[in-house]
C-alpha cells in the first residue's frame, strides 16, 4: 500500500467511525430504545466503560444518561435500571417477561447447565424447584421445626465470644459469623456441624467448604468476555477449566453429604418430619424421602443443586449483612446502646433473647433494614433476561435483553431518601414489620421482588435477627482504637467489607451469671 492510500485510509477512518456513531445514535432514536453513552465501539459496545465494582460504574452512567439506560455489552443488550418506578414496571407489570436468566459460562458449570434454582429459565422445571424450596426446605413450618438448631448455634457463638472476652483479645467477627452460619446451615441441611466450642470438629472438611464458597462467588462474579463477545470465547479457556474443576470438587463434596444422610437414615429409620427419637430431620433427609417416592424427579443432581444454592448463598450473604451491621453499630455507639436498652427492657436479664422476641424489638428491626439499605449483600440484583419485547418507562426493550437492577443506587438516591449516606435507623420507624419491596415503594428491596425474589428471605430474617440481637444483648462492644471502623467496600458477586471487622467485646455481668447457671 503506497503512502497516498495510507493517507486516504487515515483521513477517511475517523469520518467512517463518526458516521457509525451517528447512525447508532439515530437507530436508537428510531427504535425508541432507552438512552445510552454516545460512544458505542464496534464489537465491544460499552464494555470499555466496565470497571469494578459494576454497580458504581452503572451509577456514573446513570448520572449522565438517566435512570433507565440500554447498554451494549458486546453482542448482549443490557438494561440498567435505577429508579423505583421502572423497577415496578420490570418486576410487577413485566414480571413474567423478565423471569428468565441470561445464559453465562458460570451457569453452564456451577448451575448444572442452567438447571439449578438460581440459573434456570422460567418454566415448569424452575417452578418445580421453587416449589420444593418453598415447601420442603424454606417454609415457615420447616423453619419452625428447626428453630432449636438456630438457637443452639447462636448460644455456641456466645460461648466462644465469652472466651475471647475473658482473654481480652480482638475478635475477627467475619470468621465468627462465618463459623456460626456454616454450622447453622450445615445442621439444617445435612444434620452435621464443623465447629465446636473450642475447636473445629473437622478442620479439613470445614476448610474445604469455605474454599468452595469462596470460589463459587469469585468465579461466578468473574468477568468472562466470551459471555458478551462469543468470538473471543477462546480467551476464557482458563476460566472454564477453573469452573469445571470447581463443579467437580463441589459435586464430590455435596454427594458426600448426601451419602452420609442416606446412611444415617437407614441406620436410624428416619422417614418423617421428625424421626422416632424426636430428632429434627435435615433438609436432605426430607428430599431423600421425596426421592424414594418420586425417584424420576428427585435425582441426586436436583438435590445437589438445591443444597449448593442454599449453602453458598445462605452463608455468604448473611455473614456480609451481619458484619456490615455490627460495623455500623461500632461507629454509632449511641445506636448500639439504644438497641441494647430495647432488648434489656423487652427481654430482661433472666434469659437470653429468642427468635420469638424479634417482633417486640422494632428498633433492632429498623437497624437491620437501614444496614441492608446502605450495604445490600447484593448491590445488583441477580440478572434477569427478557423473554419477549416489552416496554419500560415508555421505552422499547428488545427480546433477550439482560436486566440489571441497581439496588445500591436506588437505596442511596437522595431523590428517594433524606441524607442517604447517613446511618439513620429511625427512618424506618413505623415500617419495622414491612418487608415487601412493593410496600416500600420499590425503594428498598435487598431481597429482590417478584417471581425471582430471594426464597430464603424469611430464613435470613430469623438468622440475622437472632444473631445480632444476641451479640448486642450479651456483650459490650468497642473498636480496637479511636479510629472509626473502615467501611470501604470490597468487590465480588456479593459486597463484602474490604477489610474484615476486628473488634473487642466484654461479656455483660448478667450473661456471665447465665452462662455459669444454665447449660447453654
**219-253 tens-digit pLDDT:** 887 778 999 999 888 888 999 999 999 999 999 99
Domain ranges in the chain are 34-517
Report the interhelical angle of 203-220 vs 300-331 (nearest 10°): 90
pLDDT at 328: 99
Q: Is the pTM of this model over 0.85?
A: yes
Q: Is the peptide bond before 53 cis (omega within 30 degrees of 0)?
A: yes
Q: Which residues of 424-442 are buried (b: 16+ CB within 10 A; e: fewer)?
A: bbebbeeebeebebeebeb
Q: Which residue has the cell 458426600?
A: 256
Q: What gap in Å lies between CA 501 and CA 85, rounded to an integer?
A: 36
Instruction: Calculate helix-pair angle for 333-347, 300-331, nearest 10 degrees.
Output: 110
Q: What is the pLDDT of residue 274?
A: 45
Nearest Cα neighbor of 411 from 437, 374, 367 is 374
Task: Please tell me the distance from the alpha carbon of residue 476 to that of residue 80, in angstroms, as a whole number.
Answer: 43
- Closest by CA to 354, choosing from 457, 461, 470, is 470
pLDDT for position 24: 62
Q: What is the fold of 34-517?
A: Cytochrome p450 (1.10.630)
Question: At how many degrees (to 10) do helices 283-293 and 237-268 cross?
Answer: 80
d(CA 85, CA 288): 43
493 close to 221: Cβ distance less than 8 angstroms: yes
Count of other CB atoms within 10 angstroms of residue 394: 10
pLDDT at position 426: 97
| Residues 486, 477: Cα–Cα separation, whole Å | 16
Looking at the DSSP assignment, which residues form a beta bridge with residue 405? 81
Annotated binding-site positions? 454
Q: Which residues are annotated as a binding site for heme?
A: 454
Counting as low any pLDDT under 50, the low residues of the chain are: 198, 200, 272-278
Between CA 489 and CA 449 the distance in angstroms is 24
Specify the pLDDT at position 311.
87
Amino acid at each position: 500500500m503506497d503512502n497516498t492510500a495510507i493517507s486516504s485510509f487515515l483521513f477517511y477512518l475517523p469520518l467512517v467511525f463518526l458516521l457509525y456513531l451517528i447512525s447508532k445514535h439515530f437507530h436508537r432514536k428510531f427504535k425508541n430504545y432507552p438512552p445510552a453513552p454516545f460512544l458505542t465501539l464496534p464489537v465491544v459496545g460499552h464494555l470499555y466503560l466496565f470497571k469494578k465494582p459494576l454497580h458504581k460504574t452503572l451509577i456514573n452512567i446513570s448520572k449522565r444518561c438517566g435512570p433507565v439506560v440500554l447498554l451494549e455489552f458486546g453482542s448482549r443488550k443490557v438494561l440498567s435500571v435505577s429508579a423505583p418506578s421502572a423497577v415496578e414496571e420490570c418486576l410487577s407489570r413485566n414480571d413474567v417477561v423478565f423471569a428468565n436468566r441470561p445464559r453465562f459460562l458460570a451457569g453452564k458449570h456451577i448451575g448444572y447447565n442452567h438447571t439449578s434454582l438460581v440459573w434456570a429459565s422460567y418454566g415448569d422445571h424452575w417452578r418445580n424447584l421453587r416449589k420444593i424450596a418453598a415447601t420442603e426446605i424454606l417454609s415457615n413450618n420447616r423453619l419452625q421445626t428447626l428453630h432449636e438448631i438456630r438457637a443452639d448455634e447462636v448460644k455456641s457463638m456466645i460461648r466462644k465470644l465469652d472466651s475471647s472476652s475473658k482473654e481480652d483479645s480482638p475478635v475477627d467477627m467475619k470468621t465468627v459469623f462465618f463459623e456460626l452460619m456454616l454450622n447453622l446451615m450445615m445442621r439444617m441441611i445435612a444434620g452435621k456441624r464443623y465447629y465446636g466450642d473450642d475447636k473445629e470438629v473437622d478442620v479439613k472438611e470445614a476448610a474445604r467448604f469455605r474454599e468452595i464458597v469462596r470460589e463459587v462467588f469469585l468465579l461466578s462474579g468473574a468477568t468472562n468476555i466470551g459471555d458478551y463477545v462469543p468470538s473471543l470465547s477462546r480467551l476464557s479457556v482458563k476460566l472454564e477449566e477453573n469452573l469445571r474443576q470447581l463443579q467437580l470438587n463441589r459435586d464430590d463434596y455435596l454427594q458426600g453429604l448426601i451419602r452420609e444422610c442416606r446412611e444415617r437414615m437407614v441406620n436410624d429409620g428416619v422417614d418423617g418430619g421428625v424421626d422416632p427419637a424426636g430428632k429434627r430431620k435435615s433438609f436432605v433427609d426430607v428430599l431423600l424421602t421425596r426421592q424414594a417416592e418420586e425417584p424420576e424427579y428427585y435425582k441426586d443432581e436436583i438435590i445437589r443443586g438445591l443444597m449448593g444454592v442454599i449453602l453458598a448463598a445462605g452463608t455468604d450473604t448473611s455473614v456480609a449483612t451481619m458484619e456490615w451491621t455490627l460495623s455500623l453499630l461500632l461507629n454509632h455507639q449511641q445506636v448500639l446502646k439504644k438497641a441494647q436498652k430495647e432488648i434489656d427492657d423487652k427481654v430482661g436479664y433472666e434469659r437470653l433473647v429468642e427468635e420469638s422476641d424479634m417482633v417486640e424489638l422494632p428498633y433492632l428491626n429498623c437497624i437491620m433494614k437501614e444496614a441492608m439499605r446502605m450495604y445490600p449483600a447484593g448491590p445488583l440484583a441477580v440478572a434477569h433476561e427478557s423473554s419477549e419485547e416489552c416496554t419500560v418507562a415508555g421505552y422499547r426493550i428488545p427480546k433477550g435483553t439482560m436486566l440489571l437492577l441497581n439496588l445500591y443506587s436506588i437505596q442511596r438516591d437522595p431523590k428517594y431518601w433524606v441524607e442517604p449516606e447517613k446511618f439513620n435507623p429511625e427512618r424506618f420507624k413505623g415500617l419495622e414489620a414491612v418487608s415487601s419491596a412493593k410496600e416500600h415503594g420499590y425503594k428498598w428491596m435487598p431481597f429482590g421482588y417478584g417471581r425471582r425474589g430471594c426464597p430464603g428471605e424469611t430464613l435470613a430474617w430469623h438468622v440475622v435477627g437472632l444473631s445480632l440481637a444476641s451479640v448486642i444483648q450479651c456483650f459490650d462492644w468497642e473498636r480496637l482504637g479511636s479510629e472509626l471502623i473502615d467501611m470501604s467496600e470490597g468487590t465480588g458477586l456479593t459486597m463484602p467489607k474490604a477489610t474484615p471487622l476486628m473488634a473487642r467485646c466484654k461479656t455483660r455481668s448478667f450473661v456471665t451469671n447465665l452462662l455459669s447457671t444454665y447449660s447453654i
